[in-house]
Amino acid sequence: MVCLENGNIERLVHYFLIHENDYIQVMEGRENPIQHIINIQSFSRGEIDRILDRAAQLEPIAHGGVSDIMAGRILATLFYEPSTRTRLSFDVAMKRLGGNVIDFGPTEGSSVAKGENLADTISVMGGYADAIVLRHPREGAARMASEFSSVPVINAGDGAGQHPTQTLLDLYTIRKESKLNKVKIAIVGDLKYGRTVYSLAHALSMYNAEIYLVAPDQLRMPDSMKRDLVNKGARITETGNPDDVIGVVDVLYITRIQKERFPDPSEYQAVAGSYKITEETLKDVKDDLIIMHPLPRVGEIDPGVDKSRHAVYFKQSFYGVPVRMAILSMVME
């Protein structure tokens, strides 16, 4: 993470310009610039490492410790779409650090139902809270919100767009449970519609990962995204058959294959069946293979796998807490 010194606007403006994009933006004329967390693509490897290091320091607190780092601070959570894990883990992260959370609640009962636009909601919330966590169904919503906000905006998912805190917790899990540098990882499932997969692959390429993209024909990663990843130095191999790679990888990252992506239900059944991870599938894998899943799962991993030494998806979910603690403390400190 870039070092933010009080009043050092020029340096930050320069930083922003050379990084081209948008995870840190500067409110001109302010003594203390505001940090927004909008997307993962603008983070350097060093910046990611610093966030993961901070998360490791804070992990004991996530396990039930007490801290007052965020005492007196208020976080607003604005979820325009349903979310369980992301919303609750932000809530827990803030409270474990001694801070308070105000929740917007379901949009049906809010000013949104009266027709208020996002820009106005953000402008108002900035007066109530010290930071805003936003999930919104439209791509680019977080970036726009950051332009209207007087406090840091953290993107908790915008449509099929970015979900940077998910990527960071995925990286933390891989670093903690396997190894980040030169990891061999198979990313399996819906690689077409899940742009978070692209963000993960992008971040992993900074760690010289060997990435296997495993997807049925209908759900392969679009060529433009693959090209973009290769241009950024990613090492990518594609296959439609999980069996091709399951024996060689260190990490098996499973994503949900959504039924509605298939016009023919029988086609869905066939694909879902061949991508299901069972105890049988894991017979010939590396001893230290880890299996990850962003959850919720819908049948992609048989519950019988949960007790195997390979399954880390529930830990992965837990790691969302220390990682979000790290992010909250960094943007509000």
What residues make contact with other proteins under the rule CB under 8 A? Answer: 20-22, 39, 41, 117-119, 136-141, 143-144, 147, 158-162, 224
Residue reference for tokens 């999980």? 242
CB 155 within 8 A of CB 90: no
Question: Which helix (H) or strand (E) is 282 found in, with range?
Answer: none
Phi and psi torsions of 235, nearest 5°: -100, 110
CB of 292 to other proteins, least distance (A): 25
Look at residue 225 and give its three-state secondary structure.
Answer: helix
Cα–Cα dist 132/158, whole Å: 14
Two tokens, residue 232: 């950024």
Cis peptide before 296 (omega within 30 of 0): yes
Question: Exposed, middle or buried, 133 (CB in 10 Å: 0-12/13-18/19+)?
Answer: buried
Toward other proteins, which CB reaches closer, 138 or 276? Answer: 138
CB 88 within 8 A of CB 165: no
Toward other proteins, which CB reaches closer, 21 or 57? Answer: 21
Phi and psi torsions of 148, nearest 5°: -105, -5
CB of 70 to other proteins, least distance (A): 29
CB of 130 to other proteins, least distance (A): 24
CB of 140 to other proteins, least distance (A): 3
Toward other proteins, which CB reaches closer, 94 or 122? Answer: 122
Toward other proteins, which CB reaches closer, 80 or 313? Answer: 80
308 CB-near residues (< 8 Å, 6+ apart): 279, 282, 291
CB of 83 to other proteins, least distance (A): 18
Toward other proteins, which CB reaches closer, 142 or 171? Answer: 142
Toward other proteins, which CB reaches closer, 162 or 178? Answer: 162
CB of 229 to other proteins, least distance (A): 13
